[in-house]
Amino acid sequence: MRKKKKLYEGKAKIVYETEDPNYLIQDFKDDASAFNGVKKGKIANKGYVNNQVSAHLFRYLSSYYVPTHFVDLHSDTAMVVRRLDMFPIEVVVRNIAAGSLLKRTKYKEGETLPKPLVEFFLKDDEKGDPQITEEDIINDGLATPEELDYIKRLALKINAVLKSFFERRGIKLVDFKLEFGKDKDGKIYLADEISPDTCRFWDVQSGEKLDKDRFRFDLGNVEEAYEEIRRRVFLEDTVTE
């Protein structure tokens, strides 16, 4: 497939139309931003790492019957994806206390939650992507009760699969953001990406952060952390699935 008209450009990706109206090309950029775009910069090879990691994890999730928008790799930094009508919602799954959760709860960073927590945020840059309730989503017509229930169950399944995957590679899956969309027939797919941009990864042994928090908080060794995640994602499993 060939890139045609640019459909959308966001902080981390550019989406292009193709000759087939059912498919798009999602091209990952090296641009980095944090705190709703207040902090901006570049991370060398980020587009390559995020594309390769996302593709591998989408394929892995598909083996567990998780429907994803991923079709095939297009280049080192781009993938072919299904064209979807995206839900204007970010779904955050948390296993360990970190990030914004610390500001609104009594948890301390690093505490393991009693069970995975699923939260929802409105995709709206002007409003700062505020947290919203399930009732807000339904009342505002952002998703039906049935769609929301399916998305939540699918998010928890994705969490269970990926948490085990990363544990076998010496990584704690602290929390992560997911986005979903539906095709013209109403089937819901996991979309966007799964990468160090959208997940918090901590090394099991050292506790070292291996994700975009290194960029957010000027911790240094950002490129090295991204590359370490890519390296471990492609390690062979050491135990039988």
pLDDT at 139 over 90: yes
What share of the chain has pLDDT > 70, as a percent?
98
Q: From the DSSP assignment, how many helices (H) and strands (E) are in the chain?
A: 6, 14
pLDDT computed for residue 237 by the predictor: 75
CATH 3.30.470.20 residue spans of the chain: 85-223
State whether residue 17 is helix, strand or coil: strand
State whether residue 51 is helix, strand or coil: helix
* Residues 172, 179 contacting (CB under 8 angstroms): no
Q: Which residues of 153-174 are buried (b: 16+ CB within 10 A; e: fewer)?
A: ebbeebbebbbebbeebebbbb
pLDDT computed for residue 155 by the predictor: 98
Q: Residues for the chain: how many in total?
A: 241
Confidence label for 116 from pLDDT (cuts 50, 70 and 90): very high
CATH 3.30.200.20 residue spans of the chain: 6-82
* CATH of span 85-223: 3.30.470.20
pLDDT, one tens digit per residue, over 175-202 is 999 999 999 999 999 999 999 999 999 9
Fold of domain 6-82: Phosphorylase Kinase; domain 1 (3.30.200)
Confidence label for 238 from pLDDT (cuts 50, 70 and 90): low
Beta strands in 29-161 (DSSP E): 31-34, 39-42, 70-75, 78-82, 85-86, 89-96, 112-122, 131-132
